[in-house]
Amino acid sequence: MQSTMNSFSPVTEAELSRARSDPSFRLRLLQQSLDALLSKLQRQRQASAAAAVNARQMREGVALAVRLAQMIQAGAEPLRQR
């Protein structure tokens, strides 16, 4: 699992597979994703004073952050197979 907070690293198939069977890894993966998303939203919010930020993208990002937080609070229920 990559742990860079400044850039988004897509989740790999191997990480998804491990997350399905390892609850503690799944929780760390969700927390890392939430941290990265919140960091990006914060940067966009700060930049919005100087440039127009796409409101739809901000709403989608906030909705995703809420969903990730709910999953973390629920104990990271098992991921469904695609």
In this prediction, residues 24-50 reach a mean pLDDT of 84
The reply to whether 51 falls in a domain is yes
Domain count, the chain: 1
The reply to whether 39 falls in a domain is yes
Cα separation, 39 vs 7, in Å, equals 10
The reply to whether 81 falls in a domain is no
Looking at per-residue pLDDT, the higher value among 20 and 79 belongs to: 20
The reply to whether 52 falls in a domain is yes
The reply to whether 38 falls in a domain is yes
pTM over 0.95: no
| Interaxial angle between packed helices 23-47 and 55-73, expressed in degrees from 0 to 180 and rounded to the nearest 10 | 150
Q: Could you give the percent of the chain with pLDDT greater than 70?
A: 74
Could you list the residue range(s) of the whole structural domain that residue 67 is in?
13-73
Tokens in use for 12? Answer: 């790999």
